[in-house]
């Protein structure tokens, strides 16, 4: 990769990593499913009025919208409200890479090597360490929910793999239509119409800026830059940059939210990232599409 494109990749990783801090700020005023609902409403509208629907089956748009909108971000926001810290959330959600490999092996009969199994075991050791040292900021429930969010992310990855090459921005906009109903229903059921309306009415300018950044910065700019790199270089060249997401996420959480970094978090991060690195080394041609954020 050229120096310019390396800087481009670094910008994307910084956006995606620091995004966990912005999520935490947004959750201070907006309940999680209402927050996620607003994000995907703004991704869908008004873009669908200007971008033609991608030439893919509706079922793929529906699957991606559900898995990414509700399964990944809805559940991630919910867990981050009370049950996991932003830094650890940015780390644990990267296990989507292994879920993608296992699902691809099951659904598409892709071969899983011994080295990949070793990588999975190393990262699982890191997750076990997090589970053993859960505290007031991270609970077993939060860990489990973020793992489900990671699984949903991997299902979204495989949906994109099945679809093939599409206009990514149009695909995100139209698929977001299918994230809206489940997010609305969960917000209505868990948060109630009164809390939904009052939180939106009383949200500060900072909260609205966070929602807009979720829509424009994290989704449209981040995905746009990332997709342009994937069009220029092999996925095996671009994918390793995603390892910077939890590093920038934990660093930003420590710097801006004063999230502590005890030894067990550092060791857990090292184990999970080591597993991801081993997996990349095992795959000259990765089995998964580069994740969408």
Q: Who's near 131: CB < 8 A, 6+ residues apart?
A: 140, 143
Q: Which pLDDT score is estimated for 133?
A: 79
Span 121-150, pLDDT tens digits: 887 888 788 778 776 678 889 999 999 999
Asked if the structure places residue 291 within a domain, the reply is no
Span 187-201, pLDDT tens digits: 999 999 999 999 999
45-66 exposure pattern, b = at least 16 Cβ within 10 A, e = fewer: eebeeeeeebebeeebbbbbbb
Asked if the structure places residue 287 within a domain, the reply is no
Cβ atoms of residues 5 and 181 within 8 Å: no
> Is it the case that residue 157 has pLDDT exceeding 70?
yes
Asked if the structure places residue 289 within a domain, the reply is no
Distance CA 85, CA 90 (A): 9
Cβ atoms of residues 76 and 16 within 8 Å: no
Asked if the structure places residue 32 within a domain, the reply is yes
Q: Which pLDDT score is estimated for 293?
A: 45
Task: Tell me the average pLDDT across 167-192.
Answer: 95
- CA of 181: how far to CAs of 60, 70, 175, 187, 194, in Å? 16, 9, 12, 10, 18
Domain count, the chain: 1
Q: Which pLDDT score is estimated for 275?
A: 80
> Is it the case that residue 286 has pLDDT exceeding 80?
no
Among 56-70, 232-246, 248-262, the minimum mean pLDDT is found in 232-246
pLDDT above 90 covers what percent of the chain?
A: 42
Span 211-250, pLDDT tens digits: 999 999 888 888 778 767 766 775 545 666 766 778 888 8
C-alpha distance across the termini of the chain, in Å: 22
Residue 118 or 48, more confident: 48
Asked if the structure places residue 293 within a domain, the reply is no
Distance CA 65, CA 21 (A): 24
> Is it the case that residue 290 has pLDDT exceeding 50?
no
Task: Tell me the average pLDDT across 44-72.
Answer: 94
Q: Which pLDDT score is estimated for 104?
A: 76
Asked if the structure places residue 85 within a domain, the reply is yes
Residue that is written with structure tokens 């700019």 in the block: 221
Distance CA 226, CA 121 (A): 29
Asked if the structure places residue 101 within a domain, the reply is yes
Residue 228 or 251, more confident: 251
Asked if the structure places residue 29 within a domain, the reply is yes
Task: Tell me the average pLDDT across 43-72.
Answer: 94
Q: Which of 4, 43, 83 is nearest to 179 (CA)?
A: 43
Task: Tell me the average pLDDT across 72-87.
Answer: 94
Distance CA 198, CA 77 (A): 19
Q: Which pLDDT score is estimated for 58?
A: 96
Distance CA 199, CA 77 (A): 15
Mean of per-residue pLDDT scores for the chain: 85
Q: 10 Å Cβ neighbour count for 205?
A: 7
Q: Which pLDDT score is estimated for 163?
A: 83
Distance CA 214, CA 120 (A): 31
Task: Tell me the average pLDDT across 58-86.
Answer: 95
- Residue 222's domain spans which residues? 3-282
**How many Cα neighbours within 13 Å face the side chain of 177?**
16
Among 58-67, 79-88, 168-177, 267-276, the minimum mean pLDDT is found in 267-276
Distance CA 78, CA 36 (A): 9
């Amino acid at each position: 990769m050229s120096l310019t494109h390396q800087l481009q990749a670094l910008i994307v990783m910084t956006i995606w990593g620091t995004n966990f801090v912005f999520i935490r700020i947004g959750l201070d005023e907006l309940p999680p499913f209402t927050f996620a609902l607003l994000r995907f409403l703004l991704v869908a509208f008004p873009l669908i009025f200007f971008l033609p629907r991608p030439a893919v089956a509706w079922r793929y748009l529906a699957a991606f919208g559900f898995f990414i909108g509700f399964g990944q971000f809805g559940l991630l926001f919910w867990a981050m409200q009370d049950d996991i810290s932003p830094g650890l959330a940015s780390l644990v959600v990267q296990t989507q890479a292994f879920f993608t490999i296992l699902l691809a092996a099951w659904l598409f009969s892709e071969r899983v090597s011994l080295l990949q199994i070793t990588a999975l075991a190393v990262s699982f050791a890191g997750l076990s360490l997090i589970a053993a040292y859960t505290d007031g900021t991270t609970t077993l429930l939060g860990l489990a929910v973020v793992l489900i969010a990671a699984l949903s992310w991997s299902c979204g990855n495989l949906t994109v793999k099945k679809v093939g090459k599409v206009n990514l921005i149009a695909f995100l906009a139209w698929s977001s239509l299918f994230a809206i109903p489940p997010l609305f229903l969960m917000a209505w059921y868990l948060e109630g119409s009164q809390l939904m309306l009052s939180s939106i009415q009383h949200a500060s300018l900072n909260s609205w800026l966070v929602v807009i950044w979720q829509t424009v910065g994290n989704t449209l700019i981040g995905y746009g830059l990332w997709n342009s790199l994937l069009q220029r270089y092999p996925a095996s060249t671009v994918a390793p940059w995603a390892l910077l997401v939890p590093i920038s996420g934990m660093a930003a959480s420590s710097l801006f939210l004063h999230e502590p970094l005890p030894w067990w978090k550092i060791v857990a991060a090292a184990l999970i990232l080591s597993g991801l690195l081993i997996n990349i080394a095992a795959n000259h041609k990765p089995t998964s599409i580069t994740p969408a954020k």
